[in-house]
Chains A and B, each alone.
Chain A
C-alpha cells in the first residue's frame, strides 16, 4: 500500500492547496511572510512515501503553485520544491536511525534551502543586500518549521518528533 498513489493523497493535496491559498500574509519585522503549508505537507509525504514519490509530488505541487500564484517566474517553485522533496524524501530512509534533534535540524536545513533557492532567484534582479535576503529566508523557515511543530504535536501525534 505504501508505494501506491491512492485517493487520500490527492484529497490531501487539494486540501493543503486550498489552505495555502487561503492563508493570509504575515507582516513581521517589515517583511511580508506567507506561511508555506505545502512544504509542511511535503515533510509528511517524505516520511510516509518513497523518496521518488516525494520528488514527483513536490514537483507537481510546485508547478501548480507556480501557475496559480505568479507568471513571471514560472518553474521557480517546481525547481525549489523538487530539490526540497528529494531532501525530505531522505527522511523516510533514516527516520529510525537519526535522533529526534538531528531529524529536526535536518528538516529546518531543508526548509532553509528551499526558501534560499526561491528568494535568491526571486530577488536576483533587485538590489537587496544578501543579509536582508538571508533574514527573509530564516524567518520563512522558522515560520514553516513552527507550523510543522504545531501540526506534528496536535494533529499528527508526534510522527516526526517521536523519540
Chain B
C-alpha cells in the first residue's frame, strides 16, 4: 500500500473512536427508555448543556436583537391600533353580556419562561425552560408561544421544567374547529403537520380555518389556537373526514414561551 493512502488513518485515534461509538450507542439506548431515572437524567443533562451554552445564546441574541426590536416595534404599533379597536369591541361585548346576563370568566394568568434549546432522546420531542416549582409551575400545564399551543409541562423541578412538545407522537389534544365548532382530536404526524380525528363529514371546513382547544380536557383551557386547516378529504365508507392541519406555534426558533397557570 502506498504511504500516502496510509497517512490519514494514522491520525485516527482508534481507541478513542471506538469509545465514542460505544458511548453514543449506549446513550441512544439509555435515553430511549421512559423510566423516571432516565427522564430525570435527561432533564439534568439538558440543564447542564443549557447552562454551558448560555453565553453562546447570549451572544447570538445580541446579534439579532436589533432586527428583532425593529420587528417588535412594528408589531407593537399594529397591535396598538388593533387594541384600540378591540377595546371598543370589549366594551360593547361587556354591555351585550350584561344584557344577556352572562357570568364573567376569570382571565388566564401565565408565566414567561426562557427556553433552553436542547433535545435529547430518539423518539420524543422535548425541551427545558428556566422556571419551575418556585414560580408555581406544575406538571401538565399548557405551554404556548405567541402563535399557539406548543406543548405541556411533563417534569418540574425547583428552577426548571421539561416541556413535551406538541409534535411528540404521543401527544393528543381535544379541539374544536369550523364555524360549527365541532369536536375532534389533534394528532401530530410529521414536523409541523398533524391530522384531526373524529371530525364529521358534514362539517364544512375551509383552508385556513383555525383549530382551537375545546376546553373539555382538564389540562387545556378553551380557545387556545392550535393549528390551521391545510386540506380536507373524504372517502365514501368513512363517516369522518380527513383533515390535515399545520401547527401555528413556531417550533424552530424558540426563545421565550408562556406557561398558563
Contacts and interface: CB of A to CB of B under 8 A. Distances in A.
Interface of A: 50-52, 55-56, 58-59, 62-63, 66, 72-76, 78-79, 82-83, 85-86, 89, 121-125
Interface residues of B, number: 24
Contact of B19 (A62, A82, A125): A82
Contact of A78 (B17, B26, B32): B26
B35 interface: yes
Contacts of A83: 19, 23
Given A52-B14, A52-B15, A121-B41, A72 B33 contact: yes
28 contacts: A50-B15, A52-B17, A52-B18, A52-B19, A62-B26, A63-B26, A63-B29, A66-B29, A72-B35, A73-B35, A73-B38, A75-B29, A75-B32, A76-B26, A76-B30, A79-B23, A79-B27, A82-B19, A82-B26, A83-B19, A85-B19, A121-B30, A121-B37, A121-B41, A123-B37, A124-B36, A124-B37, A124-B44
B48 to A, nearest CB: 13
Contacts of A79: 23, 26-27, 30
Contact of B23 (A51, A66, A82, A89): A82
A56 B35 contact: no
Given A52-B15, A86-B19, A75 B26 contact: yes
A18 B15 CA distance: 28
Contact of A59 (B25, B32, B41): B25
Contacts of B26: 59, 62-63, 75-76, 78-79, 82
Contact of B33 (A52, A73, A82, A86): A73
Interface of B: 14-15, 17-19, 22-23, 25-33, 35-41, 44
Contacts, number: 81
A78 B33 contact: no
**B-side interface mostly:** helix
A83 B29 CA distance: 15
Contacts of A74: 29-30, 32-33
Ranked 5 nearest A-B pairs via Cβ: A75-B29, A75-B30, A79-B26, A125-B36, A82-B22
Given A121-B41, A123-B37, A125-B40, A51 B30 contact: no
Nearest to B17: A52
Nearest to B23: A82
Pick from B14, B22, B27, B29 the residue with the most CB of A within 10 Å. B22
Contacts of A121: 30, 37-38, 41
Contacts of B37: 72-73, 121-125
Contacts of B40: 124-125
A124 B41 contact: yes
Contacts of A125: 35-37, 39-40
A78 B22 CA distance: 8
B249 to A, nearest CB: 30
Given A75-B28, A125-B40, 12 more contacts: A56-B18, A56-B22, A62-B26, A63-B29, A74-B30, A74-B33, A75-B32, A83-B19, A85-B19, A121-B37, A124-B38, A125-B39
B15 A55 contact: yes
B38 to A, nearest CB: 7
Contacts of B18: 52, 55-56
A14 B44 CA distance: 36
Contacts of A66: 29
